[in-house]
Structure 1
Amino acid sequence: MYLAIFGGTGHTGRHLVDRALGHGHRVTVLARDATKLPIREHLHVIEGDIRSAEAVARTVAGADAVISALGQRRWGTTVCTDAMRTVLPAMAAHGVRRLVALSNYGTADSRRPGVYATTVWIAIRSIMRDKERMEELIRGGDTEWTIVRPAALTDGPRTARYRTGTDLRLTFRSRVTYADVADFMLAQLDTDEYVHRAVAIGPVRD
C-alpha cells in the first residue's frame, strides 16, 4: 500500500512511519524540514508546508490512503484546520478516499460535562479548538474517514494493549503511548469498523 502521511516528524508520526515501513508499505511524508527524517528504503520525503496546495497535492498523488498525525507545536496555531483545507481537496482531486486523522479526546461529542472536559479546554483551548474545527471539516468532506481521539499521550514502547470505542470514557489517569496510537491508526487501513466514526483510545486500565 502507498501511504501519504502528514505530521510524520512528530511523536506519533515517527512511529507511524516506522510501523508503515515495517509492514512493507511505501510512504510519502510532507515535512517542513526533510532532514528530520533519515533516508530509508520506500520512504519519500517532500519538503514543504501543509498550507501549500501544490506540496500537499504532490504528497497525496497516487496514495491509497492518507494519515494525519498533525498537532500544534506552537501555542495558538491552526495547523490541523489549515491542513484539512488543503488535504481534503487534494484527496478529492486525486481520487483518494481513505483518511485516518489524529484528534484529541474531549472534542465534539466526546466533550462531556464534567471536570475532565472543563479542565482540558481551559488548559489547551487553542489545541482543542483547532482539532474540533479539523473534525468539522473532515465530517463535511467526502472521504472514508476515521477520527482517532487518544487519552493523554506518553513516550513508551508499543504494547498493543489498549481499549478503543466510540463511547469510551477516559479520565485524568488515562494514558496511552504514541507507539500504541500509531499502531491503532495504521490498523484502521485494514478494517472498516470505524469508517465515518470518531473513536477514543486509552489504556486497558487507568
Structure 2
Amino acid sequence: MKLTVFGATGGVGREIVRQGLAAGHQVTAVVRDPARLEVTGDRLEVFTATAFDDPESLRPAVAGRDAVLSGVGPRGRKDAGLAAPVTRSILRAMDAQGVRRVVVVSAAPLGPVPRDEPLAGKLALGVVRIVFKPVYDDLARMEEELARSGAHWTSVRPPQLVDAPVTGVYRTVVDGNPRAGRRIGRGDVAHAMLATVDDPALVKRAVGVAY
C-alpha cells in the first residue's frame, strides 16, 4: 500500500514509518525537519511541510495514497490545541485529492470507562482527565472533525504511552477501552494503527488499545 504518515518524527509516527516499511509498504513521511527523521529505506519518501495548517500545501503529500496515518498529538498540556487544527488541514487535503482512509492516534480518556473497571482505575482516570483537560479537549475536537468529515476514519485510543518495542500482543476494544488498561508501548500503538488500515469493520469507529 501507499501510506502517508503525519507526525513522522514523533514516538508513534516514527514507529508507523518503521513498521510500514518493514511490512513492504511505500511510505511518505511528512515532517517539519527531515534531519529529525531517523528512519531510512528504499520505499521511503520524505515530504517537508512547514505549515501543517495549510491544506493546500499538504495535498501533494496525500495525493494517490491508499491511506493516511497521523501520529500528531500533544505531548503535554503545553502542546494542547495542536491535534484538532492539524487534523482539519489533513482532512481537507485528503478531500481535495479524493483520499478517504485515515487512522489517527487519540487517547483512552475519550472513551467510556469499562463497567467492571476497578475502583482504583476509575479514580486514576478521573484525576488524569482533570489534570490534562486541555489535552483531551483538543483530542475531542479532533475526533469531532473526523466525525463531520467524509473520511473513512478510525481513531486509536491508547492509555499512557511508554517507550517499548513492538510486541504485537495487546488488547483492543471497539468503541471502548480494555479493562484495567494502564499503558502501552508506542511501537504497539503503531502496530495497532497499521492493522486497522485495511479493516472495513473499523471504519468510523474508535478502538481502545492497551496491554
TM-score if structure 2 supplies the norm length?
A: 0.88
- Paired residue for 2:15? 15
Letter aligned with residue 3 of structure 1: L
Matched, 1:190 2:198: yes
Matches within 5 A, 1:43-58: 43-48=44-49, 49-58=51-60
Q: Give the percent of matched residue pairs that are identical in Structure 1 and Structure 2.
A: 35
The answer (yes or no) to whether the contact 1:99–1:144 under 8 Å persists in 2 is yes
Q: Size of the alignment, in residue pairs?
A: 201
**Closer, same or farther: CA 111–135 of 1 in aligned 2, 3 Å:** farther
The Cα of 1:168 is off from its aligned counterpart by 2.7
Letter aligned with residue 177 of structure 2: L
Matches within 5 A, 1:92-111: 92-107=95-110, 109-110=111-112
**Closer, same or farther: CA 153–73 of 1 in aligned 2, 3 Å:** closer
Matches within 5 A, 1:1-206: 1-38=1-38, 39-48=40-49, 49-73=51-75, 75-107=78-110, 109-110=111-112, 114-166=122-174, 167-171=176-180, 174-203=182-211
**Closer, same or farther: CA 150–170 of 1 in aligned 2, 3 Å:** farther
The answer (yes or no) to whether the contact 1:30–1:50 under 8 Å persists in 2 is no
The answer (yes or no) to whether the contact 2:114–2:177 under 8 Å persists in 1 is no
**Closer, same or farther: CA 73–181 of 1 in aligned 2, 3 Å:** closer
The Cα of 1:170 is off from its aligned counterpart by 4.3
In structure 1, stretches of 5+ residues that fail to align are: none
The Cα of 1:145 is off from its aligned counterpart by 0.8
CA distance in 2, matches of 1:185, 1:44: 20
The answer (yes or no) to whether the contact 1:2–1:26 under 8 Å persists in 2 is yes
**Closer, same or farther: CA 16–110 of 1 in aligned 2, 3 Å:** same
**Closer, same or farther: CA 112–187 of 1 in aligned 2, 3 Å:** closer
**1:129-148 Cα shifts (integer Å, max 9, x gaps):** 11110000001111111110
TM-score if structure 1 supplies the norm length?
A: 0.90
Secondary structure of the equivalent of 2:153? strand
Structure 1 runs of 4+ with >3 Å offset: 111-114
The Cα of 1:111 is off from its aligned counterpart by 6.2
Deviates more, 1:110-119 or 1:120-129: 110-119
In structure 2, stretches of 5+ residues that fail to align are: 116-121
CA distance in 1, matches of 2:79, 2:7: 17
The Cα of 1:42 is off from its aligned counterpart by 1.5
Letter aligned with residue 80 of structure 1: A
**1:31-73 Cα shifts (integer Å, max 9, x gaps):** 1111111443221112223112233212111111010111114
CA distance in 2, matches of 1:175, 1:129: 20
Secondary structure of the equivalent of 1:147? strand
The Cα of 1:112 is off from its aligned counterpart by 7.7
